[in-house]
Amino acid sequence: MKTLEVKELRKSFGHTLVLDGINFSLDQGRALAIIGSSGSGKTTLLRCLNFLEQPDEGSIYVEGQKIFDAKDRDKLSEADIREKRLNFGLVFQSFHLFPQYTVMKNVTLARELLQKEAGKVKGVQKLAGNIEEEAKELIAQMGLTGKENAYPHQLSGGQQQRVAIARALALKPKILCFDEPTSALDPELTGEVLRVVRGLVEKKTTMIIVTHEIAFARDVADHVIFMDEGVIVEEGSPGEVISNPQKERTKQFLTRFSNGT
Ligand SMILES: Nc1ncnc2c1ncn2[C@@H]1O[C@H](COP(=O)(O)OP(=O)(O)O)[C@@H](O)[C@H]1O
Ligand SMILES: [Mg+2]
């Protein structure tokens, strides 16, 4: 059974067609890298998976269960959306930590709210385990032991992004999504975040990594998708798509990237 299946996803903003029939699937424990030029629809795709946007057409399955079908999208209640969103974790480009809360609180907050809702809101279930203990473990896993009581402004961008990763993991998503997790970072801070992401790949976390770090995608991903103008132009192993692309558009993109323009 596939952990994730995306079928015929379409999304327009006004007259602009941004996703034009996206189909892919992801097996448990696998890392999928999505590459493509700016404006190709990568962020919109992640936002659709995380219920931050509603696709106009198509359906999404998690572990064989249909969690979204555009045909029924008007019937989804807020509670449905909150419950279904929990299948996914999202790490944004620009961290989005809560500035008024400590590292610890940033990691535990969503989980605490979830515990409160469990039993009150239909479909929302408590997660097993001790919130604080697990948060400490995640903070340690991110190399941030000792920073539990720090506030975001006291941390470097790389540290903030690692807190954001711990926060996403605290909700135990089935699929963890990264949207260009290092693009807001100075080059010297990029490595520390990529090391953490690599560690998650090695632990067989099921994930989608939208990235412009092509060498990183080639090293860590099991599967690579190249998107352009809202379609999947080419997909396959990193050896196929990145080292030996077949389509002209993929070749052009990779050439531009390796020239640094
Ligand atoms: N909320 C929005 N309203 C209107 N247009 C949008 C919105 N979000 C994204 N777009 C447009 O959709 C296209 C794809 O954007 P995006 O998904 O952010 O691409 P990428 O992440 O690959 O750079 C762009 O042309 C962008 O301007
Ligand atoms: Mg983007």
Residues lining ion ligand 2 (Cβ < 5 A) are 43
pLDDT at 123: 67
187 lines ligand 1 (CB under 6 A): no
The reply to whether 163 falls in a domain is: yes
29 lines ligand 1 (CB under 6 A): no
The reply to whether 188 falls in a domain is: no
Task: Provide the number of structural domains found in the chain.
Answer: 1
CB atoms within 10 A of CB 218: 17
Phi/psi of residue 198, each to 5°?
-60, -40
The reply to whether 104 falls in a domain is: yes
Separation of 45 CA from ligand 2 center, angstroms? 9
Q: Which of 3, 4, 17 is nearest to 55 (CA)?
A: 17
The reply to whether 148 falls in a domain is: yes
The reply to whether 91 falls in a domain is: no
CB atoms within 10 A of CB 187: 7
The reply to whether 139 falls in a domain is: yes
The ligand whose atoms approach the alpha carbon of 92 most closely is: 2
pLDDT at 79: 85
Rounded distance between C-alpha atoms, residue 104 and residue 136, angstroms? 8
What lies within 8 Å, CB to CB, of 83 at 6+ separation is: 121, 122, 123, 124
The reply to whether 42 falls in a domain is: no
18 lines ligand 1 (CB under 6 A): yes
Q: Whose CA is nearest to atom 17 of ligand 1?
A: 41
CA dihedral 45→51→52→58, nearest 10 degrees, is 40
pLDDT at 232: 98
Q: Mutate which of 9, 15, 18, 233 to test ligand 1's pocket (most atoms within 8 Å of Cβ)?
A: 18
State both tokens at 255. Answer: 């050439």
pLDDT tens track of the chain, all 261 residues? 899 999 999 999 999 999 999 999 999 999 999 999 999 999 999 999 999 999 999 999 999 999 999 999 889 888 889 889 999 999 999 989 999 999 999 999 998 988 888 777 666 777 888 899 999 999 999 999 999 999 999 999 999 999 999 999 999 999 999 999 999 999 889 999 999 999 999 999 999 999 999 999 999 999 999 999 999 999 999 999 999 999 999 999 999 877 654
The reply to whether 205 falls in a domain is: no
Question: Do strands 57-62 and 4-13 pair parallel, antiparallel, or not at all (unpaired)?
Answer: antiparallel
| Residues of the domain holding 112 | 99-172
pLDDT at 259: 63
pTM over 0.75: yes
Q: Whose CA is nearest to atom 25 of ligand 1?
A: 39
Separation of 48 CA from ligand 1 center, angstroms? 12
